[in-house]
Amino acid sequence: MGKIYQGVLGGFSGKLGMVVGYTWRGRPCIRVYRHAINYPNTELQQKQRDWFVSMVRFASQANGALRLGFRQQSMDAQMTEGNYFVLKNKQHFHREEGVVRVDYAQLKIAAGSAADVYFKQPRFEQDETVSVDFEKNSMALRASGDDSVYLYVYAPDLGAGILSAAAARRSKQVALRLPTAWAGHEVHLYGFVVDKEGRASNSTYIGMGRVSHYEERGRYMPVDSQWQEFVDLAEGSSRAPEARAEVATKNDEVATDDAAEPPGIP
């Protein structure tokens, strides 16, 4: 049941037939339930759907970054941040040979008049952490050291993205710890600034790289008794000789009981 406010011409909330009323950013809006559509599933329609779905998927994963980066622009255009992203980046999504290809270096996830920074090359640490140093833009005379710098990392293979916590402009570095499941996957990095007034800067494509893989560091190297014995000897531990003495004693007992020579000895 819907509720009507301010008479027939006013806004309403709830469902009235096939129409649903709601309020978005202080404005009364309505939605209509989608009717069943009977149309042929042509090749051209499939291409259009794949192209559109790829944009919406990226926008949904980058929702946190888009809320910061496109907040003012989307309000001026009276649309959501995700729709504004699609509007500004649709030319960078192409469907070729049945596959949607994305020009990641051309994508924009933030825009505005805030002073940006110069991002340097990303560093992929051994604990799945990616860090990027940045410098103050010498042309930005009114930039504040309290402005927030953000890093957004997107993994195409996983179809997932993560936004970093805010780093102060004065810190000159922003870092993000990625999930362990991202190890070995290729990622694309974007950076932008949000000033104290909430205005965003134009986003910067920092580059791409591959998250450090566990096996590349030997983090999960199996450790058997012989390897542990070698490590103990190298570290000067007394546990290794005791372990050998135990093994030797047990072997002597077995040899005595069996009264037989070990195999391989003439």
- 28 and 47 in a single domain? The answer is no
- 111 and 201 in a single domain? The answer is yes
Q: What is the mean pLDDT of residues 207-223?
A: 61
Count how many Cα atoms sit within 13 Å of the Cα of residue 178 in the half-sphere of its side chain: 34
Rg of the chain over Cα atoms, rounded to whole angstroms, equals: 30
Give domain status of residue 237, yes or no. Answer: no
- 77 and 197 in a single domain? The answer is yes
**What are the pLDDT digits (tens) for 86-144?**
999 999 998 877 788 999 999 999 999 898 999 999 999 878 899 999 998 777 667 88
- 14 and 94 in a single domain? The answer is no
Give domain status of residue 164, yes or no. Answer: yes
Count how many Cα atoms sit within 13 Å of the Cα of residue 126 in the half-sphere of its side chain: 5
Range of the domain at 109: 43-212
**What are the pLDDT digits (tens) for 198-213?**
999 999 999 999 997 6
Give domain status of residue 232, yes or no. Answer: no
Give domain status of residue 218, yes or no. Answer: no
| Lowest-confidence region among 65-69, 211-215, 233-237 | 233-237
Per-residue DSSP letter, 200: B
User: Measured at the alpha carbon of residue 111, what is the angle toward residues 101 and 154, in degrees to the nearest 5?
Assistant: 40
Of the candidates 231, 182, 232, the one whose C-alpha atom is nearest the C-alpha of residue 211 is 182
- 68 and 96 in a single domain? The answer is yes
Structure tokens at 254: 């077995």
DSSP string, 161-196: EEEPPPEEGGG-EEEEEPPGGGTT-EEEEEEEEE-T
Higher pLDDT, 181 or 6: 181
Q: What is the mean pLDDT of the chain?
A: 78
- 81 and 202 in a single domain? The answer is yes
DSSP string, 34-64: PPP------HHHHHHHHHHHHHHHHHHHTHH
- 17 and 51 in a single domain? The answer is no
Q: How many domains does one find in the chain?
A: 2
Looking at residue 142, what is its pLDDT? 74
Give domain status of residue 261, yes or no. Answer: no
Give domain status of residue 241, yes or no. Answer: no
Of 174, 194, 212, which residue constitutes the final position of a domain?
Answer: 212
